[in-house]
Structure formats: structure tokens, C-alpha cells
Amino acid sequence: MTKWSRCRFCPRRLTDPESQRRGFGETCGRQRGLLPPKRRRTRRRTAPRPKPATVPPADDVIPGQTEIPLTYLQVTLESI
């Protein structure tokens, strides 16, 4: 069998032994339907993450009291 140094369809140099045997590279082969499409990698499934533990109510909570969430206030020139 003939060993090709350049692609039959374009001027690219063939470096892979399999491509040299075929006479064309992967890119030209896929574009012309001579090679099957490249398979996409699928993400490996991992174990589900454990749910965070629920925090028991504090002793100083009064029934009916509304909890106010604490927020970070960015310091600006107007607030100084």
C-alpha cells in the first residue's frame, strides 16, 4: 500500500500513521463523510451531593417573631 505524506484533498501534511495509510486526515475525512462524526464526551455522572443539615431553632426565638435576613451593605461615599 502507498504511504501518503500529504492529504489527497488539501495541502496539509499527514503526521498520523493511520491518516498516511488512508491518504487523508480526520478533518477532510469528516467534512466529506468518509469518517464517522466525532463522538462527544459525556459528563460522568457523580453521586448526588448530600443536602445541608437543617439548623435547629435557637433557644432565644420567640414564637411569631419575624426573622430579618442580614445583608451586607457596601460602603459608598454617600453613606460615610
User: Is the pLDDT reported for residue 13 higher than 90?
Assistant: yes
Question: Do residues 15 and 7 make contact, with C-beta atoms less than 8 angstroms apart?
Answer: no
Q: Cell for 74?
A: 457596601
What percent of the chain is predicted at pLDDT more than 90? Answer: 34
Q: Taking all residues of the chain, what is their mean pLDDT, rounded to a whole number? A: 81
| pLDDT given for residue 45 in this prediction | 78
Question: Do residues 10 and 31 make contact, with C-beta atoms less than 8 angstroms apart?
Answer: no
Question: Do residues 14 and 6 make contact, with C-beta atoms less than 8 angstroms apart?
Answer: yes
Mean pLDDT over 60-79 rounds to 72
User: Is the pLDDT reported for residue 2 higher than 90?
Assistant: no
Single-letter amino acid code for the residue at 48: P
DSSP assignment of 44-80? PP-PPPPPPPPPPPPTTPPTTPPPPPP-PPPP-GGG-
